[in-house]
Amino acid sequence: MNDEKERARYAARVQAYRIVSRAYFHLPVVVVFLTQQGFGPLATAALLALYGVTAALGDHVVAPLRRRLSLAGCLVAGEAVKLAGLLVLLAPVSTGIAVVSQLLAGLGFCLTAGTDAALASTLLSGERFRTREARTQAGMFLISFAAGVLGAVAYAQYDRAPFLLSALGCAVAALSVLPGGRGGLRAKAAEPGAGAVAATGPGRVPPWQVRLWASYYSVSRAVLLTAYTFLLPLLLFFGERLSVTMFGAVLGLYTLCGLLSVRLSLAWQRRYSATTLFWLSSGAMVLGLLLLVPGGLLATAGGTALLGLAGGTVRPTTMGFLGPAMAGLSDAERQRVTRGLERRQGIVQAVLLIGAGLWLGSGGSAAEAVAGCAVLVVAGQAVAARLVARRPQETGPDGGPEGRAPAASGTPPVSVR
């Protein structure tokens, strides 16, 4: 009985960690901060791209540490690394300081990404886990929105304040997940650490449908996050010249609409189909990007909201088609495909950021860069639409294979820092 109560208390602490660790006070103002520190568009984009590439490819760097640590130990270490990356920015900012900060942020993300969900799944199961997971996901979105707005307000008072607040959030998150009586931070025989992933080997090449839907996900997410982390801040703060507080509130629409669409998308998919969700998601993404091009506060706010709605539906949409396409794959091959989604997204996002930075650096505008993203999205949607059209007749809204989609692992955003 005592062990069960201790387990329940620790599960609540892990839930608190998963929510608090998403308090990204600094995220909306990173581009504004770097620009006001004298970094040009290309340098700013390159720094954001460095984070994305590190987060996507840094698993091999942190793997030795992950193998030595328990799941909780990986989370504590990851938050410590992220905290160090934030505190570095308290020094006078130079190119070296900014590079070190982004590298530390990316490596910290590698240690925590997916680890929190894995730890939560060892503490609860069945309906209790699903209920707790739904509440946790809602909490993540809400704290991301609140932290973003508060971070923008704090930035107006002191430009390092959002980074200090995020560092404090990292410290609180790490303390909340310390295992205490449940064991230490080192891996045990029963808990092989977050880095102990089944070796999948090179394996065979997945079917072309799997490769195309994986590419659809990676490109769509990369475009959305490039807009959210780089182009939207430029449009809102330097284009529309909003106050910092209003800037944070408008950018926060992305997060709030993402929460709404995540909560509605699976219900929609069960009642109707993945095909209709695909068209809704595609339409929201294209229309959202197009609304950003002419400018104006109302159009930009509406475009931001639509991009948030698209952002919350991309993964459920993809899994509605990718899941059935992977039916003939082994567990190891499925794992390789799903783990590769975020890795490819980080690489594509880095390419888009560098491209946008080069365009802006050559005299182009952020609105024109958004238009370029819209063209890329339309091309990708056209390829995906052909796949949808060639799909066999659906079994109906009661939940044939396409009505069931695996839940997301629960990590935000950005390039999330």
281-306: pLDDT as tens digits? 899 999 999 999 998 889 999 999 99
Residue 157 CA to residue 220 CA, distance in Å, equals 35
Reading the block at residue 359, the tokens are 């365009």
Which of 161, 188, 215 is the last residue in one of the domains? 188
Give yes or no: residues 153 and 232 share one domain.
no
Task: Please report where in the chains the tokens 């329940």 appear, as a residue.
Answer: 8
40: left (phi over 0), alpha (psi -120 to 50) or beta: beta
Which of 159, 188, 217 is the last residue in one of the domains? 188
Give yes or no: residues 165 and 282 share one domain.
no
Give yes or no: residues 169 and 60 share one domain.
yes
Helix (H, G, I), strand (E, B) or coil at 320: helix
Reading the block at residue 107, the tokens are 């490596």
Give yes or no: residues 229 and 179 share one domain.
no
Give yes or no: residues 225 and 330 share one domain.
yes
In a domain, 53, yes or no: yes
Task: Judge residue 370's burial from the number of C-beta atoms within 10 Å of its C-beta, 0-12 exposed, 13-18 middle, 19 or more buried.
Answer: buried
Which region among 179-188, 227-236, 263-272, 323-332 has the lowest average model confidence (pLDDT)?
179-188
In a domain, 193, yes or no: no
In a domain, 71, yes or no: yes
CATH of the domain at 336: 1.20.1250.20
CB atoms within 10 A of CB 395: 12
In a domain, 197, yes or no: no
Q: What is the DSSP string of 282-319?
A: HHHHHHHHHHHTT--HHHHHHHHHHHHHHHHHHHHHHH
Give yes or no: residues 77 and 208 share one domain.
no
Give yes or no: residues 120 and 251 share one domain.
no
Per-residue confidence (pLDDT) for residue 198, from 0 to 100? 42
In a domain, 195, yes or no: no
Per-residue confidence (pLDDT) for residue 328, from 0 to 100? 77
CB atoms within 10 A of CB 88: 21
pLDDT in tens, 164-173: 999 999 999 9
In a domain, 196, yes or no: no
Give yes or no: residues 160 and 244 share one domain.
no
Per-residue confidence (pLDDT) for residue 305, from 0 to 100? 94
Helix (H, G, I), strand (E, B) or coil at 187: coil
Side chain identity at residue 143, one-letter code? I
Reading the block at residue 147, the tokens are 């932290």
Give yes or no: residues 175 and 33 share one domain.
yes
In a domain, 95, yes or no: yes
In a domain, 194, yes or no: no
Q: What is the band of 338 on the pLDDT scale with cuts at 50, 70, 90? A: confident
Give yes or no: residues 175 and 36 share one domain.
yes
Provide the whole-model pTM: 0.83
State the alpha helices, DSSP H only, in 189-243: 208-226, 232-233
Q: Which helix (H) or strand (E) holds 169?
A: helix 161-177
Range of the domain at 280: 203-406+413-417
Q: How many domains does the chain have?
A: 2
On the question of pLDDT at 155 being above 60, the answer is yes
Bridge partners (DSSP) of residue 191 are 188
Per-residue confidence (pLDDT) for residue 395, from 0 to 100? 45
Give yes or no: residues 283 and 369 share one domain.
yes
* Residues with Cβ within 8 Å of residue 372, at least 6 apart in sequence: 355, 356, 359
Task: Judge residue 385's burial from the number of C-beta atoms within 10 Å of its C-beta, 0-12 exposed, 13-18 middle, 19 or more buried.
Answer: middle
Average pLDDT over residues 111-123: 84
Give yes or no: residues 265 and 137 share one domain.
no
Residue 322 CA to residue 340 CA, distance in Å, equals 13
On the question of pLDDT at 202 being above 70, the answer is no
What's the mean per-residue pLDDT of the chain?
83
Which of 188, 216, 236 is the last residue in one of the domains? 188
Per-residue confidence (pLDDT) for residue 384, from 0 to 100? 84
